[in-house]
Structure 1
């Protein structure tokens, strides 16, 4: 595997994160090798990733047996298993976190998705998980639902780093950025140092294109065909423009004036594994070489970028006027971007709930087997 494109992206200021974690990846040294050789400087996780890891991996047998013999419930055992993996990944990335002074070296851990519409439960669970992991370079992933955004403000005010996830629209992104800034303001009023707090806003790309393309295919006109595969990248560049706008506004400038080392909420590109075979399998990575942003990807996409990725001099969709025109053309065709984004947010939360339910079932089966073996 070559890594010219990965090196190019890294040198342009793009932070490359791995969207995967498992006990076998940690124990085998695979994650360490990706850090050392493939420019990986962070890790993201979600319930679907943990579900796959638990179903496929044998590295959990001993720990599951110990948790079973100690009398842990399935719910608490699942909490500990995920925290163990995240803690060990955080330890591997701690040197990067220290070297970059908190810019990179982060691991994200998702809060129980069944709390997505419960602010108080989200805050309680995120606080507990963050304390349990006990590592400063861990972000709690909180969905950008109405309740989740309120939780973001409270968590940030407590000094807990937050990854605001499942963002599909500029409206939700603005709300996420405002929730972060409100948390910084609250932390400042409480006498805390807001410069030590970090956050990222995670935009989903491939899922957005897939959903919009389905709408365009149902229209079936030439004008609709020309928009296929254009919306997610265009939307990402509009998000970058919104980021610039937000951080030149009075609210941020007032905060930054009082605290010159204050760190903005970074943009993170997620859902980067192409879903349509007509598109390049590297398009959501190589075409978003935007300095300061994070791109998280599964290992399959990471390998594809390393093998045949080519980073263009000008990222695709960089023309903001064209990006705005593309979204306006959706309206002309009768496709409501906001309705699609709202539906995708609901589907994403439901998908994680289903994965969480399934992983509990898998774990309960394995714990039951462990009990029978030691009966």
Structure 2
């Protein structure tokens, strides 16, 4: 087992892999990562599935069968992806049985539903029923329309990975949606202990957007702030989380058996080669959080990541100082977060279209 990854896990960070394919499942690669690299969860998205389906032949037989049965492309995607997630849940079931908060595999509602509350709820219900594993998480974006959907599905006992969170303000709305859903579930007599959630706070994209604006400003003070915004933003998010779990409202739910909605650091692959390739891991170490990493980042941490205990608790004032400095040089943070959310939704939709085209090509090949 990687000593550096074990140190990260021992510090209380749950290491999840941001990738999944049928090849990883069937060759034993995913099992190896659990055993050797402290991986205790998996996240997916349409781009990941498009790459997996395009690059391998392991989906061909199922595609041929589904085409022969007359299914359309949307149904074929649904069947292919839910089967992978169901099987991954099975492989991670021992982790789930040992540590119920982990052993989780996420699958995303169709991204084109990001502005459709009722459609998101229906998609979440269908995915939850199809995967039919207690350690699944349904990914719902933290758009304005997604927020009430989060409450609705949590209230029904569906475990959720809230994705596409960029600002602390939106994160607070996500936490409120989770608590409201738990309160409704409690009042309906559901077992709160069976409901789990993570809130995926995107990291690297914040630096990418703000660094671009700092370089456009070009002053020495502005340039000196590059590479600082994303970590500061995540640390402020954690401070907001700590505030919520210290509240009387949360304590009442915890007393009724509820699980905290753990912060999850997403988009942790470093996009700027000038920065340490482990920046968004080693600077965001705090117990009770999740870090989902692409394999490249996982390998970088295993090779040279330096874990020096908690790097988040008690950093809120310093992080706020970074934000004050950003505002001082002319960065419009509200516009940054709005831009990132709009681009995030757009990228998710583009990824979905890529997946549709990939699967349609496989279907056409199967029909020949």
TM over 0.5: yes
Q: Which residue matches 1:227?
A: 225
TM-score, structure 1 normalization: 0.96
Partner of 1:150: 148
Pick the aligned partner of 2:358 from 355, 359, 362: 362
Distance (whole Å) between structure 1 residues aligned to residue 178 and residue 216 of structure 2: 38
CA contact (8 A) 2:47 2:354 kept: no
**Following superposition of structure 1 onto structure 2, how do residues 260-339 of structure 1 map, counting pairs within 5 Å?**
261-313=257-309, 315=311, 319-339=315-335
- Matched residue SS, 1:41: strand
For residues 341 and 299 of structure 2, the distance between their equivalents in structure 1, rounded to whole angstroms, comes to: 28
Matches of 1:256 and 1:216 in 2, distance apart? 43
User: Could you say what secondary structure the match of 2:15 adopts?
Assistant: strand
Q: Secondary structure at the match of 2:201?
A: strand
Q: Which has the larger displacement, 147-156 or 54-63? A: 54-63
Alignment match, 1:347? 343
1:136 aligns with 2:134: yes
Structure 2 Cα separation of the partners of residues 128 and 114 of structure 1? 16
C-alpha displacement of 1:38: 0.5
Compute the displacement of 1:316 (Å). Answer: 7.1
Q: 1:32 touches 1:92 (CA, 8 Å); kept in 2?
A: yes
3-state SS in 1 of match to 2:145: helix
* Cα offsets for 1:122-143 (capped at 9, x unmatched): 0001101110011010000000
Does the 8 Å CA contact 2:286/2:313 hold for their aligned counterparts?
no
Q: Write the distance in 2 (CA, Å) between the matches of 1:173 and 1:7.
A: 29
Instruction: Give the whole-Å Cα distance in 2 for the aligned partners of 1:248 and 1:308.
Output: 35
Alignment of 1:22 onto 2:21: yes
Aligned with 2:200 (options 185, 198, 202): 202
- For residues 218 and 69 of structure 2, the distance between their equivalents in structure 1, rounded to whole angstroms, comes to 59
- For 1:106, the equivalent position in structure 2 comes to 104
Deviates more, 1:218-227 or 1:163-172: 218-227
- 2:34 corresponds in structure 1 to 35
Q: Which runs of 5+ in 1 are unaligned?
A: none
Bigger drift between 175-184 and 327-336 goes to 327-336
| Alpha-carbon distance in 2 for matches of 1:317, 1:207 | 23
The question of whether the paired residues in 2 share the 8 Å contact of 1:139 and 1:199 is answered with: yes
What is the CA-CA distance between 1:317 and the residue it aligns to? 9.0
For these two proteins, the number of residue pairs brought into alignment is: 368
What is the rounded CA distance, in whole Å, between the counterparts of 1:293 and 1:147 in structure 2? 26
**What is the aligned-residue RMSD (CA, Å)?**
1.3
CA distance in 2 between counterparts of 1:357 and 1:320 reads 39
1:67 paired residue number:
66
Aligned to 2:78: 79
Deviation, structure 1 residue 313: 4.2
> 53-62 or 286-295: which moved more?
53-62
1:169 aligns with 2:159: no
Query: 8 Å contact 1:317–1:323 — kept in the other structure?
Result: no
8 Å Cα contact 2:286/2:310 also seen in 1:
no
| Mapped partners of 1:313, 1:153: distance in 2 | 34
Q: How far, CA to CA, are the matches of 1:105 and 1:313 in structure 2? A: 23
| Matches of 2:320 and 2:83, distance apart in 1 | 44
- State the partner residue of 2:55: 56
Contact 1:184 1:194 in 2 (8 A): yes
- Structure-2-length-normalised TM-score: 0.97
State the distance in 2 between where 1:78 and 1:366 align.
11
For 2:194 and 2:293, locate their aligned partners in 1 and report how far apart those are by CA, in whole Å. Answer: 27
Unpaired runs of 5+ residues, structure 2, are none
Q: Is the 8 A contact 1:233 1:316 kept in 2?
A: no
Deviation at 1:330, TM superposition (A): 1.2
User: Which one of 236, 247, 257 corresponds to residue 238 of structure 1?
Assistant: 236
Whether the 8 Å contact between 1:157 and 1:183 is mirrored in structure 2 is yes
Which shows bigger deviation, 322-331 or 150-159?
A: 322-331
